[in-house]
Amino acid sequence: MYVYRLASILDDLERIKSIDGDGMRNHLGRLPEFCEDAIERADKLEIPSLVKVSEDLSIQYTRPKKIIVAGMGGSAIGGSILKDWLRETLPIPIEVPRSYTLPAYADRDTLVFAVSYSGNTEETLRCFLEALERRCMIIATTSGGMLQEYCHGIGIPMVRLPEGYPPRSALPYLLLPLATSLRKLGVTLSLDGELEEAIAVLREVVEEVKPDTPVSKNPAKEVALGLEGYIPLIIGSGFYESVALRMKTQFNESSKTPAKTEVFPELNHNMMVGWTERRDLTGKFSVILLRDQQEPDEIRERIEATRSLVLDEGAARVMEIWSRGRGKLARMLSTLYVGDYASFYLAILYGVNPTPIPVINEMKRRLEKAGNKRALRKKYKKLTTG
């Protein structure tokens, strides 16, 4: 009876609308459209051969030997997905430091993507200025703010994003321009085939997971029902590590709940031991396994063995999300999309508006009072005036 009542909540469109006061459902449903718009915007990007920052400081744009994606939160996850998507084909390394500073190796041969949806992310602005100092190649992705101001001021190439979306719902804008920029710099070959397939697959998935598809036919609603009252534990492998991280952060921000990730095969060397004795604690977790029809035999064997050894008995329940499509990007994004909607539906079950993130906004307010942005403006002025 309890499960039936919960299921009826997720099939009540008026109730969903009343809880989702800021319209997160509308942003979610437009993901395929956002992908197309992001590609179109990125295609217009013009990368110069030289940017003169000041009389004493210039940046030359050539084929990079290293890539760094400087971003935080929803603006950084695109870099993680890019890294997992291309790591078996890209001949150069990608790092996503999620920090105030760049790695020591960042130099003239390094491409730094400065990614901040708002354009005011303190850590990203610090990395941007450090990249200027080190004469790194810089490409920015933003909807405005100080980052746009800095780019326009000295001619740093920038992909301008539409304003007004929560950063987590703007993922295509924070991922696909990075891939397009790499093609323009000669790092990758054309990715058009993978992009087209991924968008087509997403259009299929959205029909299954959108609010007016009932629980009985909606995999995202089923996942949310299995998570209600428990802590989500998302387990991926290989290039699904970033997808698992994306799901974790979606449950944090949209569902307003703690969540955790693990990854195969690493968890077989530590995590599973922690599940052998304290069933009173592990029973608080509901597990999501990210699965792929093309997963290697050795990973499939590990998943099945781990499930039978510790997960099935130790967790409240174990669920699986299977990817769609042939190409790696389609498989990653199709899995991620189910997770995005599952986090939305879990928020509905908890009766919380998925969009607001008041504690993050309060943190930003307190940091603003500390005067860090003033110090950033001072450093920018010093760098650009020589």
Distance CA 167, CA 141 (A): 12
Instruction: Please tell me which residue in 14, 44, 55, 269 is annotated as part of the active site.
Output: 269
Catalytic residue, chosen from 284, 364, 373, 379, is 364
Q: Does the annotation mark 364 as catalytic?
A: yes
269 is catalytic: yes
Active site residue 253: yes
How do 57-60 and 50-54 pair as beta strands?
Answer: antiparallel
Pairing outcome for strands 285-291 and 317-322: parallel
Q: How far apart, in whole angstroms, are the C-alpha atoms of residue 81 and residue 177?
A: 13
Please answer whether residues 143 and 118 qualify as being in contact, where contact means their C-beta atoms are separated by less than 8 angstroms.
yes
The encoded tokens of residue 61 equal 């744009």
Q: Which residues on adjacent β-strands are paired with residue 240? A: none
CA gap 111, 62 in Å, rounded: 9
Catalytic member of 197, 228, 253, 295? 253
Q: Which residues contact 377 (CB under 8 A, 6 or more apart)?
A: 146
Q: Which residues pair with 374 in a beta bridge?
A: none
E strand or H helix that includes residue 264: strand 260-264
Find out whether 283 and 315 touch, Cβ atoms under 8 Å: yes
Task: Identify any residues that bridge with 318 across adjacent strands, giving them in sequence order.
Answer: 287
Q: Distances in Å between the alpha carbon of 340 and those of 12, 120, 121, 170?
A: 19, 25, 23, 12
Read out DSSP for 312-380? HHHSSEEEEEE--SSSHHHHHHHHHHHHHHHHHHHHHHHT--SS--HHHHHHHHHHHHTTHHHHHHHHH
With residues binned 3-state (H G I as helix, E B as strand, rest as coil), the percentages for the chain, rounded to 5, are 55, 15, 30
Residues recognised as catalytic: 253, 269, 364
